[in-house]
Amino acid sequence: PQLNWELTPQRWGKSVFEFDGEFTRFQHGENNAGTRTWVYPRLSLPIVSRYGFVVPKLGWHVSNYRLQDANHSNIQRNLPILSVDGGLLFERSARPFGDTPYVQTIEPRAYFVYIPYQDQSNIPNFDTDVRQFNALSLFQENAFTSVDKINNAHALTLALTSRWIAQDTGAERLRVTLAGRIHFNRPRVALNSTVVNSQNKLLPDILVEARGQITPSISIESTVEFNQQNLIITRGDVALHYQPE
């Protein structure tokens, strides 16, 4: 069974308070069973204009595990999480595809996150995995998909996105993103005794994502991950999408 709770974001003056949590009971055999409860209150101060945004945020993640093991372990974890997300928006008019007028945007973005290290080797892994390396995960606090593991982090994500938007319809014809995350310390939290491979490097991997609208019903997207240490492409994929009008 699982119980989730989430508070609608509350505005306190210029700040925003958010709160969510979960209670789950797991039964994975006799030696991997118990309950997991966590809450995550956080306070942010969004500063938004038509030219960009800055969102500093401070949260506190509290987790409790009651395990049905030989010792009936009761494990508590408390972690502060600090992040600052910011970006700018520049745009200009252009006609790159014939006579149709377009708006081209240049959108630099930076995301800083700090989470101190805490030994989590005694916490079981009920439903957690490593996030796929993509433009979305680079702006996530946790490199893991669930809360059984919360990475230590002292990192800065830098990204640059350019979009081509048709002025007459507002349709996005082309989007290209270049991004990477710089780690100021090495990750120490492991998933099943394996440190997150994409972070355990002196130089960050570079991610390039592109999406183009060929026709109103056909689009194509591609992702390339480049390893700076070995100067090789570690991942590349292309997908074609068809959606009838």
Contact (CB, 8 A) for 97 and 172? no
Q: What average pLDDT is seen over the chain? A: 90
Contact (CB, 8 A) for 64 and 148? no
Residue 226: pLDDT over 50? yes
Q: What is the largest CA-CA distance in the chain?
A: 73
pTM of the model: 0.88
* Tokens 């081509």, residue located: 164
Residue 200: pLDDT over 70? no
User: Please, what is the Cα angle at 52 between 49 and 54, to 5 degrees?
Assistant: 95
138: three-class secondary structure by DSSP:
helix
Summarize pLDDT for 33-83 with one digit per residue, the tens. 899 999 999 999 999 999 999 999 999 999 999 998 767 689 999 999 999
Six-digit token string for 61: 């993640």
